[in-house]
Structure 1
Amino acid sequence: MNRSRALALVLRLTGAAFIVVFALLFLASVTRTDTPELLYRLFAWGDVGDAEEQMLAAVYIVWGACLWIAARAPLQHRLFIDFTIIANLAHAAVMAVQSFTYEGEHAHLWGDVVILVAVMGVLAALWLPVRRQSA
């Protein structure tokens, strides 16, 4: 599989993961349940049903759909893919600090932080060479 096809696949998988994970979290939040419990402990913050987590979930669902669309022609969506990588790494950095400074939130270090860094690392490893070649 060449790098461009691998990039498109990773963009689609990331987009699909954002949609599925955050749709489940959104549903859990609006119904005020922590089910599925493992998913909720790894990704949710604060009290079950917080308005902030519902808004963040809605943003990530849309983000996932946009990643899916961007996979069709990544070079035409250069800024969006750059933003996706940078914003999610910034998000992970803030969450890493919060996982140590907020009482009872250490699980996020292994959920949100590790997963975001790993996924964005793979995406960056595929994206940056393709981006450089097109410049």
Structure 2
Amino acid sequence: MSATRLLQILLVAFGAVFCLIWPLSIVWPAGWTWHEGPATASHYYVMILGVYATLGVFLIAAARAPLAHASLIWFTAISSAVHAVIMAFQAMGDPMQRGHLLGDVPALLLVTVAFAVLLPKAQRENAAASASPA
């Protein structure tokens, strides 16, 4: 399978997960929420849900032509790494938040690694295909 095709699949998969953070927080609150009570109990968390759902929709749309949306994919990779590192430090400092070390922290690091590896590989494949005589 080409890197571009795998990137397309992961854009849809990760985009869908970003759209489904609310249901994930209901099923496994210790790994996906940072407050007590239902998701709607925190204005901050509802805002985060909206931002991630929007990002998820755009990632799914980017799957049609991933290389044309490289900046969105890099933004997702780098912002996911930053988010994961901050959350990991916060979770290590608060015993009540340690579930995040098994939930959203590794999920965000997976997004980071997958996109940071696959996007350059897909770009190299595309460049090689463009350079080949037809």
Is the Cα contact below 8 Å between 1:23 and 1:61 reproduced in 2? no
Which of structures 1 and 2 has the bigger CA Rg? 2
The Cα shift of 1:2 comes to: 1.3
| 1:11 alignment counterpart | 11
Q: 1:87 aligns with which of 66, 79, 82?
A: 79
Q: 2:61 aligns with which of 69, 75, 83?
A: 69
| 2:111 alignment counterpart | 119
The Cα shift of 1:131 comes to: 3.1
| 1:129 alignment counterpart | 121
| 1:31 alignment counterpart | none
Q: 1:52 aligns with which of 44, 47, 70?
A: 44
Is the Cα contact below 8 Å between 2:74 and 2:115 reproduced in 1? no
| TM-score, normalization by structure 1 | 0.83
The Cα shift of 1:114 comes to: 1.2
The Cα shift of 1:102 comes to: 2.6
The Cα shift of 1:82 comes to: 0.6
Opposite residue 131 of structure 1, the aligned amino acid is: Q
Opposite residue 54 of structure 1, the aligned amino acid is: V
Opposite residue 100 of structure 2, the aligned amino acid is: H
Q: 1:73 to 1:9 in 2, by over 3 A?
A: same
RMSD of aligned alpha carbons: 1.8
Opposite residue 41 of structure 1, the aligned amino acid is: A
Quote the sequence identity (%): 33
Number of residues of Structure 1 aligned to a counterpart in Structure 2: 124
Is the Cα contact below 8 Å between 1:78 and 1:131 reproduced in 2? no
Q: Segments of 4+ in structure 1 off by > 4 A?
A: 132-135
| TM-score, normalization by structure 2 | 0.84
Unaligned runs of 5+ in 1: 29-34
The Cα shift of 1:133 comes to: 5.2
CA distance in 1, matches of 2:68, 2:84: 26
